[in-house]
Amino acid sequence: MDVLAVLKEIVGAEHVLTGEQAQSYLTDWRGRYTGKAQAVVRPGSAEEVAQLVKTCVQYDIPVVPQGGNTGLCGGATPNNKGDAIVIVLTRLNKILEIDTDNDTMTVQAGCILQSVQEAAAQAGRLFPLSLAAEGSCTIGGNLATNAGGTQVLRYGNARDLALGLQVVTADGEIWEGLRGLRKDNTGYDLRNLYIGSEGTLGIITAATLKLYPQPVAKCTALLAFNDIFDAIKMLSRARNGFGASLTGFELMSNYCLHLVPGVFPQQKLPFEGPSLECEWYALLEISDSESAEHARERFELVVGEAIEDGEVLDAVIAESIQQSKDLWHLRESIPLAEAETGKGIKHDVSIPVSKMAEFVEKTNSLLQARFPGVRHIIFGHLGDGNLHYNVGAPLGQEEGFLARQKDVYEVVHDSVYAFNGSISAEHGVGQLKKDILPNYKSATELSLMRKIKRALDPNGIMNPGKVISNVDI
């Protein structure tokens, strides 16, 4: 039987894309991976997803789930065999329910993150997951990779924001787990098996998410430090002074902050004079449930004491919503500015905060010793111990630098491991880190992961070649 004909019967001929129509779905956002597929299929319901998976089981066809295609590790891109079906979930884009008494909302997996944020705001609630790709990434992809973002410090990763899931399993059944319960101790935690599994165990088609009260006021400031040790001292001070009100603490090196206006001259740095020469900066934000005056008073007290004690050399406190947006825009523009200046070797690592300063200094030294002149492009979510520890080519040596990725990875990841960290904090594993994961996971961990894969995907069709290698079905 013609498989494409079967797919067209399930979703409609206009939603089965081949040839040129399919090309934009076959390359990842960064342009690092390009694959092939029999077809790109866009189902319109969980039932259609289930029928598609059953068809793929019947004909032994690999399945590659895809949301907004904004991933950074190649997790939603097929390989070059050309035998896979890419199932794109963007037609599943309905807000199914908002329950303000239970502080939950249920949405389909293809909903754009920004649309979910806006729907929550219209209901007088906050959905706090926030990241640079929020205008194009989808909730399903966020959950499949356990996305982090800028407010993990207060609200947690995507996993912490999901109460229930609807999942199409690897044999084409639908698990209806859309429960808005904060307590449900009735067996194995199936929800958390699928979250972060990058589509290798099943396909998330809907989710019940946590909502929070909208903050009455926010305060934002850009702080300047002599060194990273002072930035970590300030984080501890902020945690003690603000408690649960502390929602963001974003670290940026001097190089990163100055990179933005160099590429985007319309963006201006808020500092002048010696403060422009500081080694490190942090964007700090609190959310207050009482009033703008209360937020400002607490903010100025804690930051003022840090300045008096010499931990903070300078501070620019936003005086308006627009100024706050401008400060955040500086932070969020770093990856874009970095991309404009040439491809670097990126790392998404997590380190215990108490060891972060030592890790940065040690790893910088190791890299300079082995690759003299490399640029340290370091920024990230210091509050939850997540750094985007990126390495740029020495000036004038950009051509061919990516060919040294394996060697750079070895230096950085070995250092991460030595500091008891993780080589993937929020971007996932995908294709990018699949083959190096065994260097930093114990044999017991890998064995357990393979057993789960075999149990939940016995036919081995779900997103093959991602996350974990050497799974014999």
pLDDT digits (tens, 9 = 90+) for 148-200: 988 999 999 999 999 999 999 999 999 999 999 999 999 999 999 999 999 99
- Residue 95 pLDDT grade (very low, low, confident, very high; cuts 50, 70, 90): very high
Instruction: Tell me 354's DSSP state.
Output: G
Question: Is the predicted pLDDT of residue 473 greater than 60, yes or no?
Answer: no
Instruction: Tell me 285's DSSP state.
Output: E
pLDDT of residue 123: 97
- Residue 470 pLDDT grade (very low, low, confident, very high; cuts 50, 70, 90): low
Question: Is the predicted pLDDT of residue 472 greater than 60, yes or no?
Answer: no
Domains and CATH numbers, the chain: 95-213 (3.30.465.10), 217-336 (3.30.70.2190), 342-418 (3.30.70.2740)
CA proximity to 223, closest of 305, 313, 125:
313
Residue-wise pLDDT tens digits, 332-363 = 999 889 888 877 899 999 999 999 999 999 99
Which residues 6+ apart lie within 8 Å of 295 measured at CB?
Answer: 216, 217, 218, 219, 245, 286, 287, 288
CA dihedral over 446, 447, 452, 457, signed as positive or negative: positive
Residue-wise pLDDT tens digits, 78-89 = 999 999 999 999
Q: Which residues pair with 162 in a beta bridge?
A: 209
pLDDT of residue 471: 59
Residue 166 gets the label, from left (phi > 0), alpha (psi -120 to 50) or beta, of beta
Coil, strand, or helix at residue 254? helix
Instruction: Tell me 215's DSSP state.
Output: P
- Whole-number percent of the chain with pLDDT over 90: 88
Which tokens in the block code for residue 257?
A: 């902050």
CA proximity to 333, closest of 252, 405, 404, 275:
252
- CB contact burial 420-442 (16+ within 10 A = b; e otherwise): ebbbbbbbbbbbbbbeebeebbe
Which residues 6+ apart lie within 8 Å of 377 measured at CB?
Answer: 253, 255, 256, 259, 338, 344, 388, 390, 391, 392
pTM (2 d.p.): 0.93
Report the first-to-last Cα separation within the chain, whole angstroms: 26
Strand-strand pairing, 174-177 and 95-99: unpaired
Instruction: Tell me 12's DSSP state.
Output: -
pLDDT of residue 293: 87
Residue-wise pLDDT tens digits, 244-253 = 999 999 999 9
Mean pLDDT, residues 399-411 taken together? 92
Could you count the other beta carbons within 10 Å of the beta carbon of residue 144?
31
Mean pLDDT of the residues in the chain: 94
- Residue 126 pLDDT grade (very low, low, confident, very high; cuts 50, 70, 90): very high
- Residue 312 pLDDT grade (very low, low, confident, very high; cuts 50, 70, 90): very high
